[in-house]
């Protein structure tokens, strides 16, 4: 982890900006959920806020916010609107990942652009096998140097706002053949960065956006398909080998996703308290037979809100402590093979809790929460996305179990 360069006083200024932007996201969010499109007015607002530069180190023109600072900003924005924030989360993830892997010269150039307000995105997942599938996308070497990229990425969150693209592709021979040997193929999978120039219809030189995003939730992320039809990447757009590089810095993915869903937890608790502290059922006949039943006095509602608040507090502690452990270098004490899945536990823990909370909120608020347009049905749909972002709970447990069951580990 880079050293923390930002003081808490400096951070307060960014937090105040995040609170303001969060209110704007909260205001426009419902419209773009209904319209099922990217939240276009968020682009100028995000750029104007200057928040995108937060993790950029001071030597490259940013304020040098830490992973914990970035996490807090993302949760604050997500409390306003998780779908809009999930889009910009891809920017923070890719800034965090690239800055740990790029050369000094690349950092100066690309992070300098981020410090000036430009936005990055990162389409990696492909249709055959999401994030963990080795890239079928090809990087074909060119005789004049550099590569041309061919293939398609099916999850291009934030593409409608981005200026810079980061992606992975497998370097082929000059005729475009992928390595046949598995290990060679792993080694040839590479991490690239390039300009992302498309017109208002999403058409660029060797690259285009196909607007396909239509999902259960997270409507305004604009997670469209990106087609690479020979995008040219010059030699200095090569960052490193993808798998060996990324596994050392993937905390920027899992902990920033965790921050999204922690922000969503804050919102679920806020909205549930707002409704349940006031709701009166009047005369009831059922579990409670009474002249006038206020739901805030019903046992399972009191217990339910207490349960939600406990989950929020535990999730916050797990996330903040995991970020702090990384800052303090405590991850060095974990077995190397378990570093990534152990860091990822913060994400899987928060994901499971947020899905529990959105379901529980609906059952406590009652049937009105099921009607289209209520915040509760929205949160329920959006929270389901937390199942998929890497590592998911199943894969994390498999990963950990495999390592712990390997006979050679038993002596450790
Ligand atoms: C709202 C949203 C936005 C997203 N934005 C982006 C983005 O901007 N960029 C991006 O790159 N991706 C993005 N994704 C994609 C996402 O992170 C996953 O890569 C995608 O959902 C597909 O991967 P998967 O593992 O879910 O599915 P699959 O890879 O199809 O997996 C199918 C099943 O196999 C299991 N599995 C997969 N691989 C392994 C393995 N190696 N070992 C054991 N089990 C395995 C899975 O757990 C699952 O049960 C986004 C997803 C969502 C929901």
In short, whether 115's Cβ falls inside 6 Å of ligand 1 is no
Q: Which of 132, 165, 386 to mutate to test the pocket of ligand 1 (most atoms within 8 A of CB)?
A: 132
65 lines ligand 1 (CB under 6 A): no
Q: What is the CATH number of domain 250-409?
A: 1.20.140.10
Please work out whether the CB of residue 88 comes within 6 Å of at least one atom of ligand 1: no
- Write b or e for each residue in 217-232: b if 16 or more Cβ atoms lie within 10 A of its Cβ, otherwise e: bbbbbbbbbbbbeebb
Which residue's entry shows tokens 């209110």?
23
Measured in degrees and rounded to the nearest 5, phi and psi for residue 410 equal -65, -25
409 pLDDT tier (thresholds 50, 70, 90)? low
More confident residue, 411 or 144: 144
pLDDT confidence tier of residue 7, bands split at 50, 70 and 90:
very high
Q: Is the pLDDT confidence value at 38 over 90?
A: yes
| pLDDT range class, residue 412, cuts 50, 70, 90 | low
What's the chain's average pLDDT?
Answer: 96
Query: CATH topology for 138-245?
Result: Butyryl-CoA Dehydrogenase, subunit A; domain 2 (2.40.110)
Identify the residue whose C-alpha is closest to ligand 1 atom 38: 132
Residue 132's pLDDT is 87
CA 406 → CA 132, 243, 378, 401, 403, distances in Å?
21, 22, 43, 9, 5
Quick one: 8-117 is in which CATH superfamily? Acyl-CoA dehydrogenase/oxidase, N-terminal domain (1.10.540.10)
Q: Which ligand 1 atom is nearest residue 389's CA? A: 17
Q: Is residue 122 in contact with ligand 1, taking CB distance under 6 Å?
A: yes
For residue 408, the model assigns a pLDDT of 75
Average the pLDDT over 17-29 and give the result: 98
Question: Residue 42: pLDDT above 90?
Answer: yes
Contacts of 334 (CB under 8 A, 6+ apart): 342
Taking residues 8-32, what's their average pLDDT?
98
Mean per-residue pLDDT for 116-135? Answer: 94
Task: Give yes or no for residue 216 CB within 6 A of ligand 1.
Answer: no
Is it the case that residue 278 has pLDDT exceeding 80?
Answer: yes
Q: How many Cα atoms within 13 Å fall on the side-chain side of residue 206? A: 13
User: Is 411 a residue whose pLDDT tops 80?
Assistant: no
The alpha carbon of 131 and the centre of ligand 1 are apart by a number of angstroms equal to 5
For 145-154, the pLDDT digits (tens) are 999 999 999 9
**Beta carbon of 167 within 6 Å of any ligand 1 atom:** no
pLDDT in tens, 77-121: 999 999 999 999 999 999 999 999 999 999 999 999 999 999 999
The mean pLDDT of 20-31, rounded to a whole number, is 98
pLDDT of residue 410: 62
Query: Per-residue pLDDT tens for 324-378?
Result: 999 999 999 988 889 989 999 999 999 999 999 999 999 999 999 999 999 999 9
Domain extent listing, the chain? 8-117, 138-245, 250-409
The predicted structure's pLDDT at residue 248? 82
pLDDT reading at 209 higher than 70: yes
Distance from the alpha carbon of residue 303 to the mean position of ligand 1, in angstroms: 35
Q: Are 170 and 190 in contact (CB under 8 A)?
A: yes
CB-ligand 1 contact for 129 (6 Å cutoff): yes
Q: Tell me, what's the pLDDT at 391?
A: 81
The residue ranges of DSSP E strands in 234-285, in sequence order, are 238-241, 280-284
Ligand 1 centroid to Cα of residue 126, in Å, is: 9
> Cβ(125) to ligand 1 under 6 A?
yes
Nearest to 173 by CA among 132, 137, 141: 141
Residue 3 has pLDDT above 80, yes or no: no
């Amino acid at each position: 982890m880079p050293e923390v360069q930002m003081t808490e006083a400096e951070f307060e200024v960014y937090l105040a900006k995040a609170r303001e932007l969060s209110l704007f996201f909260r205001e426009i969010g419902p419209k773009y959920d209904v319209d099922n499109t990217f939240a276009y007015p968020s682009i100028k607002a995000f750029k104007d806020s200057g928040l995108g530069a937060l993790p950029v180190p001071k030597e490259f023109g940013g304020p040098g916010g830490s992973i914990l600072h970035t996490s807090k900003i993302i949760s604050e924005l997500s409390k306003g609107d998780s779908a809009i924030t999930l889009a910009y989360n891809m920017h923070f993830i890719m800034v965090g990942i690239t800055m740990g892997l790029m050369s000094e010269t690349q950092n100066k150039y690309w992070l300098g652009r981020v410090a000036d307000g430009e936005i990055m995105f990162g389409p990696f997942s492909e249709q055959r096998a999401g994030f963990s599938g080795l890239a079928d996308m090809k990087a074909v070497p060119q005789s004049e140097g550099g590569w041309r990229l061919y293939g398609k990425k099916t999850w291009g969150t934030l593409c409608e706002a981005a200026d810079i693209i980061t992606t992975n592709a497998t370097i082929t021979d000059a005729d475009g053949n992928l390595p046949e040997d598995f290990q060679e193929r792993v080694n040839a999978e590479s991490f690239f960065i390039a300009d992302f120039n498309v017109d208002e219809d999403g058409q660029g030189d060797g690259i285009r956006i196909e607007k396909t995003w239509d999902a259960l939730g997270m409507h305004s992320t604009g997670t469209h398909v990106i087609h690479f039809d020979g995008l040219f990447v010059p030699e200095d757009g090569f960052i490193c080998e993808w798998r060996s590089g990324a596994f050392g810095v993937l905390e920027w993915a899992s902990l920033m996703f965790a921050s999204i869903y922690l922000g969503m937890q804050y919102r679920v608790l806020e909205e549930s308290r707002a409704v349940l502290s006031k709701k009166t059922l009047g005369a009831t006949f059922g579990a409670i037979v009474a002249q006038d039943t206020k739901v805030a006095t019903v046992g399972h509602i009191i217990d339910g809100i207490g349960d939600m608040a406990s989950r929020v507090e535990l999730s916050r502690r797990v996330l903040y402590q995991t970020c702090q452990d990384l800052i303090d270098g405590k991850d060095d004490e974990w077995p190397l093979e378990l570093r990534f899945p152990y860091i990822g536990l913060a994400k899987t823990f928060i994901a499971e809790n947020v899905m529990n909370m959105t379901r529980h909120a609906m059952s406590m608020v009652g049937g009105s929460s099921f009607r289209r347009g209520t915040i509760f049905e929205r949160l329920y749909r959006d929270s389901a996305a937390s199942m998929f972002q890497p590592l998911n709970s199943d894969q994390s447990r498999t990963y950990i179990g495999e390592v712990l069951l390997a006979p050679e580990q038993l002596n450790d």
